[in-house]
Amino acid sequence: MKRLCAALVLVAPLAAWGQTQTHELTGQIGSRPAYLVLHTSRDAQGGWQVAGEYVVLPTLQRRFLEGDASPEIGVTTLREGTTSILFGRPSSGELRGTWRAGSFRGARFAPGGQERERFEFSEEFPPLDDYGANVDCEASAGRYWSALSLAVQAGKLQAITWRSRVAPSGQACTLSNLQQQAFEGGLRFASGPCSVTLREVGEYVLLDAQNCTAQCGSQAYLEPLVIDRRGRCELLRPEAR
């Protein structure tokens, strides 16, 4: 939400129909801010096969999705579950709505068909031109540990060092000396192909790395971080890989 640690599992059924596109969205389910990532691919009939997941903030509740979308009018139905493999597993709900022109709106239904709450997501993230923070935090879960030192003033990067380590191998990642690049809907810092994006999701900001494998050991990775207004960090997906 591109970046979800279960992406390979989710996208595999889509590969048979062609190239997969990934869409990241920010919005709300009921009154709760949430981050949504959807992977889409054309099926043999010209419709869209969809798989993905959403994470509710601040509880970090995670739900996996799969279903389809109409290419003409955007009618989208996504079955929801608590594991990345939904086939043969009980559903925890269903999202029904319209996904069109970068907006996904509708309602979440319980397994019995009762409407539970409305949702609304957009592919347009708010600008961070005025964002300022001094963050010095650590986050860990299972075998994974990460530390971030970040300073931003009025939307301009002052300094960043982002490190991670995976036990028991000790394989690690280190990002530093990144330069700011123009980026709509947030902030982007990069060095060569490696880039880090900072985007607003509700009352939080989400830090994510792309194409940074050269800065990591063979078993290491950089799990996205959720940063609150006090500068505290949590792993977007706390499960160890």
Domains in the chain: boundaries: 7-122, 133-235
- The CATH number for 7-122, chosen from 2.60.40, 3.40.50, 2.40.50, 2.40.128, is 2.40.128
Q: Is the pLDDT of residue 158 over 50?
A: yes
Q: Which two tokens stand for residue 63?
A: 């739900």
Locate all alpha helices (DSSP H) within the chain, ordered by sequence.
Answer: 7-11
Burial class (CB in 10 A: 0-12, 13-18, 19+), 129: exposed
- 236/206 Cα distance (integer angstroms): 8
Output the pTM of the full model.
0.84
Q: What value does the mean pLDDT of the chain take?
A: 89
Strands 75-81 and 61-69: antiparallel
Q: Which two tokens stand for residue 221?
A: 């990775």
Q: Is the pLDDT of residue 65 over 90?
A: yes
Binning pLDDT at 50, 70 and 90, where does residue 84 land?
confident
Residue 10's pLDDT is what?
Answer: 40
- 7/152 Cα distance (integer angstroms): 30
Do residues 189 and 178 touch, judged by C-beta distance below 8 A? yes
Q: Is the pLDDT of residue 56 over 70?
A: yes
